[in-house]
Structure 1
Amino acid sequence: MKMDRDRLRMIIQCGVFAAITGIFAQIEIPLPLVPISGQTLAVGLTATILGSRYGAFALLGYTAIGAAGLPVFAGMSGGAHVLVGPTGGYIFGFIAAAYVTGLILEKTSFTLPMAMVANLVGMVVTLILGTIQLKFVADLGWSQAMAAGVYPFLVGGVIKAALASWLGIVVRNRLVQARLIKPAVA
């Protein structure tokens, strides 16, 4: 019975973080090909708080509801066409980034310095996967893809990684204290 309750709690938390990502996606600065948005901050928070498995599950849920047509992607967009468009690689990258970020924290420790490292690695994962799809879908050269899909996001990405790390560790510690999530096994 307790196992079912714990599993249900984590599924609900994944749904909450999928919703948070959809809300943060609407905080955006439009750019010609790829907007700067709050999604990456939400991805970092999700992974730092929930860890690899549930963080990736939450972002997979976010991607699925967006693919189904709910307007949860940046610019109140939704639909499968977004996932195969120029920005789709970033959205798929969110799932991978959440998993990698959470995994680094699970294999090391849920501390602020490790969260910063993990979130920076997650940012790089998102940028790599996003830029690869951007290059091919938009028929750009690598230098053009980097100029449109990486360089504009570096400074903001570092700031969002720091914010996700700090806030994520604070919230995670409080959720562990409240027994709403399990502490990391060392």
Structure 2
Amino acid sequence: MRNQKLKFLIVDALFAVIIAILAQFTIPLGPIPLTGQTFAVGLTATILGARHATIAVCVYILLGAFGIPVFSGMTAGLGILFGITGGFIIGFIFNAFITGWLLDRFGYKMGNAIVANVIGAIITLFFGVLWMQISADMSFTDALMAGMAPFLLPGAIKAIFAAVIGLKIRERLVKSRLLSEKLPS
């Protein structure tokens, strides 16, 4: 049992690194860049489920908070978390948990994975908009237009890709017995 827990801690850390790597793929789009982070979070949740995806995302955020440049653009630090994009990063925690929980609860099927990932992406955007409103002293409407509207279509596309690719990877990991059908809590 102890070896199993260690194995999953290593897997969680590995997925934190995957999120950090994919975060470096960015397309500048005003003050909030379009990044691979949200895709990576959805992918992680689709493969690992709620508990382990949430742990992986928390490890990723802690690495960045402690100054390791894992956020988009090789940035790090509490200034990023408290800056205009900090709400999106904190939203990743809730994205990972809800996406994974929906899949754990309703099954790892394509339709469920797409719906769960789209909901998770919207959750990330919602947290980002709320924090943007506070940190930039914007009206809710202005924050919505700046922090959600331009990202809805790209977010949906990334969510669909995260669902499709995540299920394929999960299926192969389960088949090869590197991942059990039901991950331990």
TM superposition score normalised by structure 1: 0.96
Q: Which residue of 2 aligns with 1:179?
A: 177
Larger CA deviation: 136-145 vs 39-48: 136-145
Q: Which residue of 1 aligns with 2:157?
A: 159
Partner SS state of residue 171, structure 2: helix
Quote the Cα distance in structure 1 between the aligned partners of 2:98 and 2:137.
Answer: 28
Q: Which residue of 2 aligns with 1:9?
A: 7
**Contact 1:23-1:72 at 8 Å conserved across structures:** yes
Quote the Cα distance in structure 1 between the aligned partners of 2:171 and 2:133.
Answer: 40
Q: Which residue of 1 aligns with 2:84?
A: 86
Displacement after TM superposition at 1:181 (Å): 1.7
Deviations 1:155-180 (A, max 9, x none): 11111011000000010011111222
- 2:72 is equivalent to residue 65 of structure 1: no
**Contact 1:110-1:184 at 8 Å conserved across structures:** no
- 2:140 is equivalent to residue 118 of structure 1: no
Give 5+ residue unaligned stretches, structure 2.
Answer: none
Displacement after TM superposition at 1:13 (Å): 1.0
Q: Which residue of 2 aligns with 1:30?
A: 28
Q: How many residues align?
A: 183
TM superposition score normalised by structure 2: 0.96
Larger CA deviation: 50-59 vs 176-185: 176-185
Deviations 1:108-135 (A, max 9, x none): 0101110001001101110111110011
Q: Which residue of 1 aligns with 2:139?
A: 141
Aligned amino acid, residue 78 of structure 2:
A
Larger CA deviation: 93-102 vs 175-184: 175-184
Quote the Cα distance in structure 1 between the aligned partners of 2:10 and 2:170.
Answer: 16
Quote the Cα distance in structure 2 between the aligned partners of 1:116 and 1:169.
Answer: 10
Residue identity (%): 43
Q: Which residue of 2 aligns with 1:45?
A: 43
**CA RMSD of the aligned region, Å?**
1.0
